[in-house]
Amino acid sequence: AILRERWVGSFCHVVSKHDIIPRLLFAPPSAHILSLLHLCHFGTNSIPEEALFSYVLSCAGKAAEEVEGLSESDGLCFTPLGTYVFCSEEGGICLDNGASVVKMMHLLFSRSCPRQSTEDHFKYGEYIGKLLLQFLKRRELQGEEGGLGLNGSTYDAGVSLALQSSGIDRQ
């Protein structure tokens, strides 16, 4: 229904390079997922990181094979929808093709390790801040003629960009 209504372009997902949480969508519901959520939100070590990492990596690998047509199944339990922004310390990349998103999620996660996969979940604020500053520098919005004349505050930058993208000019 969402595809028919053309809402696909209304969704933007931010995924860090090694975060295990978005990759859980490829795994069938199980006790592993509940244990991980408990681990992340309550700080307990109820499951070994390596076992969960291997399980999620295996599920993401199967999903990547399915979109390549290398294996058959009843279909993915998760189909990416909208635009995905993959971010890291180095910057970010945007993808809106579902098959490419699945492959990228698997590829980046396969280059990770169990410790990184849980630590990376808590770095979104840092990544978004860096992406915003890179964007502002690239667009030359800080103080240039015709720019937004921002004072370096990410809040001000966000408000100014929202106004600009909505078509409301700065008075």
Distances (CA, A) of 163 to 147, 157, 168: 13, 10, 5
Phi–psi pair at 92, nearest 5 degrees: -150, 165
How high is the pLDDT of residue 1? 53
Query: What's the average model confidence in pLDDT over 142-158?
Result: 58
Domain annotation covers residue 170: no
Do the domain assignments include residue 44? yes
Q: Is residue 166 part of a domain?
A: no
- pLDDT > 70: percent of the chain: 63
Token pair belonging to 91: 């910057």
Tokens of 29: 């519901």
Question: Is 130 among the domain residues?
Answer: no
More reliable by pLDDT, 83 or 137: 83
Residue-wise pLDDT tens digits, 97-147: 888 999 999 999 998 888 888 788 889 989 988 888 877 777 655 455 445
64 inside domain? yes
The domain of 20 spans 8-122
**Sequence-separated (6 or more) residues with CB below 8 Å from residue 83:** 9, 11, 12, 13, 94, 95, 96
Residue at 113 is within a domain: yes
Check whether 154 has a pLDDT greater than 80: no
Evaluate whether residue 142 is within a structural domain.
no
pLDDT at residue 15 tops 90: yes
| Domain-located, residue 156 | no
Residue 55, both tokens: 């399980």
Predicted structure pTM score:
0.66
Q: State how many domains the chain has.
A: 1
